[in-house]
Chain A
Amino acid sequence: METESLGATAEQQPEVVEADNGGTMAEQQPFLEGKKMMNVLVAVDSDESLHALEWVLDKLLKYNGGATPQTAEQEHSKLVTIVYVIEPLPRYAFPGGYVVESASKTQEQNGVRILSRAFEMCRDKMVKVKTLILEGDPKDRICRAVDEMNFDLLVVGSRGLGQIKRAFLGSVSDYCAHHARCAVLVVKPPKKPY
């Protein structure tokens, strides 16, 4: 079940070049003047990942927030999609249906809250953004979304877990860094002031 809530300007620019993720193309795109359209997928799961989003907006899309109006071509050169994946709870783990119901409702509400915060952040920086809620195992779902929707860059946060914690808790960002078919940007948490 996918619920897609579109941002304010949700229509995508018609692609001026053929998608570089499609088919059998292994070589680089022919270089066009002006920036090529870049589809960026930002995976968020919690408030900490919003830091990753903020970092991306600041560093990668800095010029979009500039005072001078950019040409129409440059404005549409990066499309950001923010995705939140809901992991369905195993029904067998909880006796009685209502626990699962309320837990998944909480998850959904959480997702909506985080996505709306994220959407606000993007809107403040005047970036075109789309939000998406997907359901399933986060690692697989994100990698599949990259394939299906032809993203050029996947941005994930990283909680800075050590080796052992990573092995036990599982790391979505680790999995995505290895298995996603596009470029992956792992954003580290800010250094804590000591």
Chain B
Amino acid sequence: MEDKQVMVLALDESDHSFYALDWILTHFFGSSSNNSFKLIIIHAKTSPVSVMGFGGPGSTDVLHLVETDLKKTAEKVISKAKDVCSSRSVTDVQYEVIDGDARNVLCDAVEQFHASILALGSHGYGAFKRAVLGSVSDYCCHHARCSVMIVKKQKPKQKP
């Protein structure tokens, strides 16, 4: 049995990520005999401090609540991903939740798992939003050490 190539898929809780998961499963994990990739699904759990900034009095309680909420989101994402994968009979999947900012987490994960492809969804922000909100797919495209696949949700084409 030859070594499988590793594909890392980044998931957050957005629809775009799950669309990407769907797309990848359809095109690359279609029939069970053709699995030339091992899929590793990664959810980056941001730290509550970065979400909140430095708060005033009472922030320690809020910090705790935010942390719990983030943990819950992570669990939801992973279990939903597990459901999608098992409904497509894709079994050779590894799930990871890693703390930190998505950009760094993903680029590090590529190194750690020796991935040959990093797959991500894309929010489809325009240039301005990208500059203001930042784009994980942009960052990964430039900095990841492997090939990067950006899966976009199809916008309905405007009929003239």
**Stretch of A30-38, A99-107, A125-133 at the chain-chain interface:** A30-38
Given the contacts A35-B27, A38-B27, A59-B5, A28 and B156 also touching, CB distance less than 8 Å: no
| Distance in angstroms between the alpha carbons of A185 and B7 in the assembled complex | 13
| Distance in angstroms between the alpha carbons of A191 and B117 in the assembled complex | 15
Contact A25 B154, beta carbon cutoff 8 Å: yes
Given the contacts A63-B36, A74-B34, A177 and B27 also touching, CB distance less than 8 Å: no
Using CB atoms and an 8 Å cutoff, list the residues of chain B in contact with chain A.
5, 19, 22-23, 26-28, 30-31, 34, 36, 88, 116-117, 127, 137, 141-142, 144-157
Count of inter-chain pairs, beta carbons less than 8 A = 84
> How does the 8 Å CB contact mask read for A59-94 relative to B, with 1 for contact and 0 for none?
110110000000000100100000000000000000
Contact A28 B23, beta carbon cutoff 8 Å: yes
Query: Which of A36, A55, A185 is close to B26, meaning CB atoms less than 8 Å apart?
Result: A36
Contact A33 B145, beta carbon cutoff 8 Å: no
Contact B5 A35, beta carbon cutoff 8 Å: no
Using CB atoms and an 8 Å cutoff, list the residues of chain A in contact with chain B.
20-26, 28-29, 31, 33-36, 38, 55, 59-60, 62-63, 74, 77, 152-153, 163, 174, 177-178, 180-188, 191
Can you give 27 A-B contacts (C-beta < 8 A)? Answer: A26-B156, A28-B23, A28-B26, A33-B31, A34-B31, A35-B27, A35-B31, A55-B147, A59-B36, A63-B36, A152-B27, A153-B149, A181-B152, A181-B154, A181-B155, A182-B154, A183-B150, A183-B151, A184-B149, A184-B150, A185-B148, A186-B147, A186-B148, A186-B149, A187-B147, A188-B145, A188-B147
